[in-house]
A = this chain, B = another copy of it.
Amino acid sequence: MPKLLILSKHAEKYRQLVDSARLPGLREITFDPAPDVDVVFGEPHLIRDALPLLPGLKWAQSTWAGVEPLLDPALRRDYILTNARGVFGGLMSEYVFGYLLLHERKMLQRLEAQRDRRWDATLTGRLNGKTIGLLGVGSIGAELARAAKFFGLTVRGFTRDSEGCEWVDRYFHGPELLDFARGLDYLVSVLPNTSETRKIIGAEVLAALPSSAIFINVGRGSALDEPALIQALDTGALAGAVLDVFEQEPLPASSPLWEAKNLIVTFHTSAPSFPEDIARLFCENYRRYAIGLLPNKIVSFIKGY
């Protein structure tokens, strides 16, 4: 008879959603850490802080896809950690292709023309026929690849070794990073924060992109060399960028990124965790756990995702 701890800024909302799912055998739902808690469901940094108070913990379900706070090697790893990957792909697609369309269809220039009462029927670009490169092809990358094929793009994927996504036209690995970047119209990073991905998008990769290319980062800020990006935008070596994630979040008011040329900044909001989606995922996983099955979306403490 599991006892569930919910640790989230949406805790009350989650309690209602979990309650209404009438999960089998659930003994109690609490918002306070206690030794007899078996299961915790919440934001990873809140779970990290509670770990010492949860000697009975068997399973932690993160409400986020990224679980860096729980991956510190100094922390215990004697429980099953699952994340919320798989529910964000559709939202990421909306974000990535929304911003690519903002660029291609010249929406901001069109709004200026409207303000000037100027009929501006100049030709715009289009997604169809372009080439997109995905840095990382996990569940989010696969969903981006699927959307790219829907819009008629050619899709390249850069991965450690996996080649399993049917929507990727061509895979690149390891030393092929610069070949991967050459000729891309759009480069999108969905890379997690691991030792292998740190600053992987640096001056070399940015220089390999055509000067007409757009870079979008919806993975983790640590994968990008931020000064190198500012330099590439400033010199016109890169046409534009959209960053949703940063080395430091929230982005400090003093950061030069706020006003970098042709750079759009958003606020780690590309794929928000809608409580309804995340609660549904938790409840499905709980039903597996309750009958002795392993929950889905287990995170490898070694790989970090």
Q: Fill in one digit per residue for A57-98: 1 if any B CB lies within 8 Å of its CB, else 0.
A: 000000000000000000000000000000000110111011
Is A174's CB within 8 Å of the partner chain B?
A: no
Among the stretches A15-23, A102-110, A288-296, the one at the interface with B is A102-110
Copies in the complex: 2
B104 pairs with A94, CB closer than 8 A: yes
Question: A255 — nearest CB in chain B belongs to which residue?
Answer: B117
Check A102/B110 contact, CB under 8 A, given A90-B152, A269-B121: no
Report how far A251 CA is from B110 CA in the complex, Å. 14
Minimum CB–CB distance from A226 to chain B (whole Å) comes to 15
Which interface class (under 10, 10 to 19, 20 to 34, 35 or more) fits A?
35 or more
> What residues on B are CB-neighbors of A105 within 8 Å?
94-95, 98
Chain A residues proximal to chain B, CB less than 8 Å? 90-91, 93-95, 97-99, 101-102, 104-105, 107, 110-111, 113-114, 117, 119-124, 126-128, 147, 150-152, 249-251, 253, 258, 264-269, 272, 274
Q: Can you give 17 contacting A-B residue pairs, CB < 8 Å?
A: A90-B151, A90-B152, A93-B151, A94-B105, A98-B104, A102-B107, A110-B266, A110-B267, A110-B269, A117-B258, A119-B250, A119-B267, A120-B269, A121-B250, A123-B274, A124-B272, A150-B150
